[in-house]
Amino acid sequence: MSDTKRVTDEEALLLHSSGRPGKLEITPTKPLTTQRDLALAYSPGVAAPCLRIAEDPSLAYDYTAKGNIVAIISNGTAVLGLGDLGALAGKPVMEGKAVLFKRFADVDGIDLEVDTRDVDEFVNCVRFLGPSFGGINLEDIKAPDCFIIEERLRELLDIPVFHDDQHGTAIIAAAGLINACDITGRRIEDVKMVVNGAGAAGIACAELFCTMGVSRENIILCDTKGVVYRGRTNGMNQWKSSFAVDTDKRTLEEAVAGSDVFVGLSAKGAMTQEMVKSMAAKPIIFALANPDPEITPEDVKAVRADAIVATGRSDYPNQVNNVLGFPYLFRGALDVRATTINEAMKVAAAKALAALAREDVPDEVDAAYSGRRLRYGPDYIIPVPFDPRLIVTVPAAVAQAAMESGVARKPILDLTSYKHSLRTRLDPTADSLELILEKVRTNPRRVVFAEGEEERTIRAAMAFRAGGYGTPVLIGREEVIKEQLVAMGQPNVQFEIHNARLSDANRRYADHLYRRLQRKGALLRDCQRMVNQDRNVFAACMVAQGDAHAMVTGLTRSFGVAYEEIRRVVDPKASEPVFGLHLFITRNRTVFIADTTVHVRPDGKTLADIAVGAAAKARQMGHEPRIAMLSFSNFGQTPHPNTDPLREALSILDSRRVDFEYDGEMSADVALDYQLMKRVYPFSRLSGPANVLIMPGLHSANISAKLLNKMAGGQMIGPLLIGLDKPAQIVSMGASVNDIVTAAALAAHDSLPW
């Protein structure tokens, strides 16, 4: 298994401090360019919605962002596993929670850090903020304060109040329990359970398990002082007392003996192999302490092969991860304008997750996690976090439960249409990219970092290895790389380093290159010089000769130069063009742009081939391709020799009977604005706005991609080099460490067998 930390403290600090500090910004959703825009959005136009809301407060959901905003509120008294750090030190976590809300469910999160440890002050602060938000997510508040705060705020406010540290963990654990009981042939009403840890999460799990059907008398709760039994006075409170049982057992070891289920929300090492041996047949063990579980799955399996084990760790099967719950729970609650999140909604979320794990896993998810075999069974009782079905399944179940339990102020009349809206709410690119990266983690590769002496390259190689993607191989002088590591404060980091001039493989690589270039004007000594002196040629030879799976370069040379050097060694795939593809990702939308790097003025056949390749990549990234052949002209409006290749490409695609939508030639505004397209050109073949733009030439493609990268508000990935027979990626000279890691991982993925 991998290390508990996939990123270093230095990397995390750099991410949080680089560019605009932090992880959030406020972006307007309406145009604010002209004075008229401002007059409508603010004074005097803003008076109209104000007056309407004063007459009918429910209209705030129609005229403001209230219905999609959740406040993430903490006083920092129980920050992750770090303890009482205070409100300000907890802010990075709250910002991170806001990012997760947006990333997984398109919910806007606003973090609020309340600088008090007094329960009354905290409640009074938050209660008056209710009109601003559609829901409140309490976070990282110590027990028992969190119980009191949540209970009082739920009574005072008419919007959902949810403490994720309690109920988020409980929902995911409950889903796992449903399926673990099913697999082991148990009735949930009959299980004998030990819950170790009487904090917020432990109490909430026990409470939800009871709601699901577990008998309260069959749960033994333990804390640092042992079993919570009737008559105990030391370290008790009203929440622990509700789980006090008549028993002569006093220690965790005694409690576990003969039990069916162990749920740990405590500390590393709390569970031993001897305790595991003492449990009933087919024991269910949820060791959820983070970052290190109460007992590792390896230690459990060493003594009980019949056990089902879940942890909070992503590098083990059955991860109990709160991100499976809270974003989707709030999504469903907000969409029906729920007044609260009740037990029925939590149960619905748990049952939806459990049911999803029993369904056939989509090919792209299964491929990503192929090392784990995602089939319902002991090692797959909970869906994985990047399953694209979650955004549909869980919110719909929560919304329906809210309606059935009478807490929905805006019932959804057509659940089928609602599920469709959920399916299209998020751009699939992020999930697809993560699935690609996960597939690399389960099939680690050797990737050559050709510019190994560069600091950014070295940092990227460290991150690549820490991310679990495989073995980075650096090309460069060993003494220079070690000097860089010392300067970076990493003198003990070790890499596989190859000096092109001194490598034992030089003769073999030179012979390979000579066989390729001897009839293209190159002498053997020329090939020897290129291998000895050119790191891109050397790296490409490593890949071509099977000494590595893929390579990445680009920091120190222009794309054209790097591409030419790689092409001396590597051919295109048979009957496929090599081209560059950029992905431009904005809110809820991804646009693929090709060819941005290789063909200066492609002919019709090349454009058609590029369209086919770009469509395949779009599908791999989770999009159904709609291709537009771009030009300054729309459908022959301005006949010109420059538009002839585009029309020729269209004819070629017609003759091939390809299985994706395409049309052109058309201008960019028509391609991207579907309403304009259908109004002015109703005959267009596209069923929606184009998401793959085939550019007429390298000048327009490259300029467009770089302008978008520097001036627009989205994220750019690329250029991705597509069509080479051996995997290689060329980053831009200004690429960040993260850009290099992504390119290296994508190159690694291209090397995997399909």
Q: Is the dihedral of CA 491, 494, 498, 503 positive or negative?
A: positive
Do the annotations mark residue 86 as ligand-binding? yes
Do the annotations mark residue 613 as ligand-binding? no
> What's the one-letter identity of residue 324?
L
Are 447 and 748 within 8 A, CB to CB? yes
Do the annotations mark residue 83 as ligand-binding? yes
Comparing C-alpha atoms, which of 322, 580, 314, 583 is closest to residue 427?
583
Bridge partner list, 108 = 69
Give CA separation, 289 vs 171, 252, 293, in Å: 16, 16, 5
> What's the one-letter identity of residue 151?
E
Do the annotations mark residue 654 as ligand-binding? no
Do the annotations mark residue 84 as ligand-binding? yes
What would the two tokens of residue 104 be? 């997984």
Verify cis geometry, omega within 30 degrees of 0, for the bond prior to 385. Answer: no
Do the annotations mark residue 323 as ligand-binding? no
Query: Cα(516)–Cα(569) distance, rounded to whole angstroms?
Result: 7
Query: Cα(561)–Cα(567) distance, rounded to whole angstroms?
Result: 10
What is the per-residue DSSP string for 458-480?
A: HHHHHHHHHTTSEEEEEES-HHH
Rounded to 5 degrees, what angle do the CA atoms 95, 96, 97 make? 90
What would the two tokens of residue 663 be? 């049309």
Say whether 20 sits in a helix, a strand or coil.
Answer: coil
Do the annotations mark residue 676 as ligand-binding? no
Question: Whose structure tokens read 């930390």?
Answer: 5
- 66 as an active site residue: the answer is no
Comparing C-alpha atoms, which of 140, 96, 95, 92 is closest to residue 117?
140
Do the annotations mark residue 118 as ligand-binding? no
Verify cis geometry, omega within 30 degrees of 0, for the bond prior to 431. Answer: no
Are 337 and 410 within 8 A, CB to CB? yes
What would the two tokens of residue 291 be? 């970052």
Do the annotations mark residue 165 as ligand-binding? yes
Out of 97, 192, 240, 351, which one is annotated catalytic? 97
> What's the one-letter identity of residue 619?
R
Give me the torsion for CA of 724, 730, 731, 733, rounded to 10°. -150
Query: Cα(476)–Cα(498) distance, rounded to whole angstroms?
Result: 6
Do the annotations mark residue 698 as ligand-binding? no
Question: How far is it between the farthest Cα atoms of the chain?
Answer: 93
Comparing C-alpha atoms, which of 313, 316, 380 is closest to residue 353?
380
Are 445 and 746 within 8 A, CB to CB? no
Other CB atoms within 10 A of residue 606 CB: 18
Give CA separation, 259 vs 198, 282, 368, 475, in Å: 18, 10, 35, 56
- 363 burial level (CB within 10 Å; 0-12, 13-18, 19+): exposed
Please tell me the total number of residues recorded for the chain in this structure: 754
Q: CB-based contacts of 35: which residues, under 8 Å, 6+ apart?
A: none
Rounded to 5 degrees, what angle do the CA atoms 331, 336, 340 make? 80
Do the annotations mark residue 560 as ligand-binding? no
CA 589 to chain centre: 16
Do the annotations mark residue 320 as ligand-binding? no
Query: Cα(258)–Cα(346) distance, rounded to whole angstroms?
Result: 30
Q: Which residues are annotated as a binding site for a divalent metal cation?
A: 139-140, 165, 290
Give the catalytic positions in this structure: 97
Q: Which residues are annotated as a binding site for NADP(+)?
A: 79-86
Q: Which residues are annotated as a binding site?
A: 79-86, 139-140, 165, 290
